[in-house]
Structure 1
Amino acid sequence: MRTARVFTGTALSIAAVALAGAPALAAGTFEKLEVSPGSVQPGATVTVSTTACGRDGAGTGDASAVGGPASFQLKTGTHKEVVVGQFKVPTSAKPGTYGIGVNCKNGREATGDLVVTKGSAVSPASPAPSTSSPAAKPPQGGMKTGVGGASESGSGTAEIAAGAAVLTAAALGGTWYLRRRESGDRV
């Protein structure tokens, strides 16, 4: 009888850990694709990179969702574990968010989002806007550095707190259950 109760406590603990990890499993099997810059105007060149293809790997990218090439090559960059490729966003691209995908030769896949804004890309012949004019606005928002934090991966403070609460409840419940058994109380 005691063995059954120990197994029940263990099963509750395992279930709590599994529930805490469920959001990560729901995300799918796709790995992250870095898209730089993440927000562009039509006509701009975009660079994508990922570690999904492995060391000295290679892959084929697909930017057809934005009207770009259905196939462009990704090859090892300056870091042997990162593959890199480029494509040009068509000048006819409409504003919106588009999914960019990569199929690696090792069978893995990576996806990322590209945001296309209104307007057209600044041509090299056009002068750069002056930052000293009174109409110039200071930059706003966070920097896109390619190094993500917990909030970027979708695990915010609320999700972390909920997971910790579930694990704490399971540990306390298991401890209470086993202590009652040791003191001779019937459940």
Structure 2
Amino acid sequence: MRTTARLLTGTALALATLAIGAHGVHAEDVDSLEIFPSTATPGTVIIVNITICGTGGRGVGDARALGVEEFKLAPGTHKEVVGGQFRVPDHAQAGTYAIGVKCNNGRHASGDLVVRHHSQQPSGHVNTGVGGSVGPDTTKIAAGVAVLATAAVGGTLLLRRRASGAQDR
């Protein structure tokens, strides 16, 4: 039992170390731009954040592919984050648009914004296998109640037997 526990613990630690190492490499990939939301409809306000401009840095954002003027980036509430925002124009066509940022320190980054129209939004039920987005199934409910009732009766009988001392040792 202890050998199995040690094996599982060692494996979990090794996987955690690999995950942290991979995350560290990704964190140094400074060419990525955080765009929220990354999928939007016309009229949505887009927030852009980046850390490569440095503490207290500033920059300029470029969303001209969407027909938006340059937007300014300024220090945010976190000292290492520089951010800005713009609005997706009402006339924007559906598609993927490159958004760029150039910092005053000369560094630059880019990311993609996907524009969809309301008619392109997903609709309907999500079939994940969990939850109740589809009507209840009375057969499954009855089966679940029967299983719970059986477990409750069995547990009660077991507890009464233990309490009376009828259990063999």
Q: TM-score range by the shorter chain?
A: 0.5 to 0.7
Conserved 8 A contact 1:32-1:52: no
TM-fit CA distance, 1:139: 9.3
Cα distance in 2 for partners of 1:92, 1:79 equals 34
Unaligned runs of 5+ in 2: 1-24, 129-169
Aligned to 1:108: 107
SS at the partner of 1:31? coil
- The answer on 1:78 being equivalent to 2:66 is no
Residue correspondences, number: 98
Cα distance in 1 for partners of 2:56, 2:127 equals 37
Cα distance in 1 for partners of 2:79, 2:49 equals 12
Amino acid at match of 1:62: D
Percent of residue pairs bearing the same amino acid type? 49
Instruction: Report the TM-score when normalising by structure 1.
Output: 0.48
Bigger fraction of residues in helix: 2
TM-fit CA distance, 1:137: 3.0
Q: Deviations over 1:34-74 (max 9, x none)?
A: 000000001111000000101111100011111122x1111
Report the aligned-residue RMSD: 2.4
Within a 5 Å distance, the mapping from 1:104-183 to structure 2 comes to 104-119=103-118, 137-138=125-126
Instruction: Report the TM-score when normalising by structure 2.
Output: 0.53
Structure of larger gyration radius: 2
SS at the partner of 2:97? strand
Unaligned runs of 5+ in 1: 1-23, 121-134, 141-187
Amino acid at match of 2:62: D
Greater RCO (CA < 8 Å, at least 6 residues apart): 1
Aligned to 2:154: none
Cα distance in 1 for partners of 2:115, 2:71 equals 19
